Amino acid sequence: MRRLSTEKRKAVLPGDPTVAYPFALPYGYEPVDGALVPTEDARRTLKLIFDEALRVRSVDEIVQSLQREHRIPLSGAEDWDPQLVESILSNPAYTGRWQGFGRVEPIVDADRWESAQERLPLLLS
């Protein structure tokens, strides 16, 4: 059996319309040239979410800030909700770590993400 060299293999990324995936991409990411890259609008929104997580007292306050700033939620959603914000804050993909994909452009550094994780129980109470 002959194996293809890595130069001849083509990795399939999420978002390829020819492939059905059992999962969704993290909010704001799209496949570009073999990597997952955040859109510019999503990058600004996600930075705002993480900044607010380190500043405010609750996830509800983050939602209010997103609505006040007229940030666009996930497609199909009418507005932001606390569960979506919680899932974003909990997702390590935003640090560039997403299991199974080697190239994911980070939005926040690991220290900022860890700080948000430490604050998350307080934000949810």
Q: In this structure, what CATH number is given to the domain that contains residue 52? A: 3.90.1750.20
pLDDT value of position 50: 95
| Contact in structure between 65 and 53 (CB atoms under 8 Å) | no
Range of the domain at 56: 38-124
* 90-100 pLDDT, tens digit each: 999 999 987 66
Domains: count for the chain: 1
Q: What is the pTM of this model?
A: 0.77
pLDDT value of position 48: 93
pLDDT value of position 62: 95
Side-chain-facing half-sphere of 60: CA atoms under 13 Å:
2
| Contact in structure between 95 and 38 (CB atoms under 8 Å) | no
The answer, yes or no, to whether residue 83 has pLDDT greater than 60, is yes
